[in-house]
Amino acid sequence: MKILHTADIHLKNYGDERWETLVSLLSIAREQNVGAVVISGDLFDKDLDAENLRPNIRDVFSGNRFPVLIIPGNHDAQLMADMYFGSDAVVISDLTEPYIIDDVAFYGLPFESMDEHRVLERLHILKNHLSDETRNVLLYHGELLDVMFKQSDIGGESETGYMPVRLSYFTDLNIGYVLAGHFHTRFDVRRLPGGGYFIYSGSPVSITRRETGQRKVNLFSVGEPPAEYPVDSPHYEELVHTFDPLDDSDPVRAIETKLDNIHPRARVLVTVNGYYNRNMVGTSEKEMARQITSLVRSRGFDPPELTFRDIQHILEDDLFTAFMFKLDTYDLDTEKRQRIQEHAIRAMIEAKQ
């Protein structure tokens, strides 16, 4: 059986980018002939969004030839099993009642406000219900304490401690996969003590600006390791361009080339730093800033962060010129040479000031 696992879509409005991402994921699932789609919490951004979108979502969660297994997350914790979300939708709200497809049993640990000791107690309860006759999969939404979380990793939540768990808690549990949600930033896999896998799929669409890079889902066959599957969904990408003060090529053209190679669904966060010599490239600092800003905004992106500096007065100083001549006599790799050069520039700037 193939399973498509995702989480943290945070649906808010019908027809927007997040909605279209959900529709795209279901299309991928049909193309890949999966046996189930798993959404490990935070399908909706708020309980109110679940209520408002329920009539619309019934259409996309019906007629897919596979079930859509859902557990509530901390954003949609009031999602109840008796609500109708479509003929394919199965909300797993009871830890002791699995949803079984062939020889695979899907258990769900929906989000509740509890500490790690209570989570451990729930897993002990689960242990008594796991069968050796099935391959057992657990849907979970919360924080894995073995991973160092930042607020940006979990969608900028103002609080932490969402149903925390440790890998060691799964010792002696016959679970092959923990399909988890709540960790937005990236696809992340950890091994369970018994040889199974704990997987965060990451959000399939960027919810905040911190979720950079092409988004992914977990598309795997039962019995095999988890597998990243790239999704063509809207996402943020960071583009950092560093000026080389000894490079006489057109820096604006270099940035344009990088923008040309960006994923078509990406919203780019551009930063331009480093140093340049206006006499070498023939452009003042003010004009350089205008050209770069105009280029970036013409692509529909936010204004760039500009921290570059024109240091023509440093680069043409006799002392700096002598230093660079001496540096060129050493056999250094490019990275180390650039690092020494930057230290020298900073020292010269401080000395001038």
pLDDT of 60: 96
CA distances from residue 3 to 188, 199, 221, 229 in whole angstroms, order as listed: 17, 13, 6, 12
Mean pLDDT of the chain: 89
What is the per-residue pLDDT across 258-317, written as a single tens digit (0 to 9) for each? 999 999 889 999 999 988 888 888 888 899 999 999 999 999 999 999 999 888 877 777
> pTM (2 decimals)?
0.83
Residue 159 banded pLDDT, cuts 50, 70, 90: low
With a cut of 50, say whether residue 158 has pLDDT above it: no
Q: What is the CA radius of gyration of the chain?
A: 26
For domain 2-230, give the CATH number: 3.60.21.10
With a cut of 70, say whether residue 132 has pLDDT above it: yes
Assess contact for 116 and 165: CB atoms under 8 A.
Answer: yes
Every domain range in the chain assigned CATH 3.60.21.10: 2-230
What is the per-residue pLDDT across 97-123, written as a single tens digit (0 to 9) for each? 999 999 999 999 888 888 889 999 999
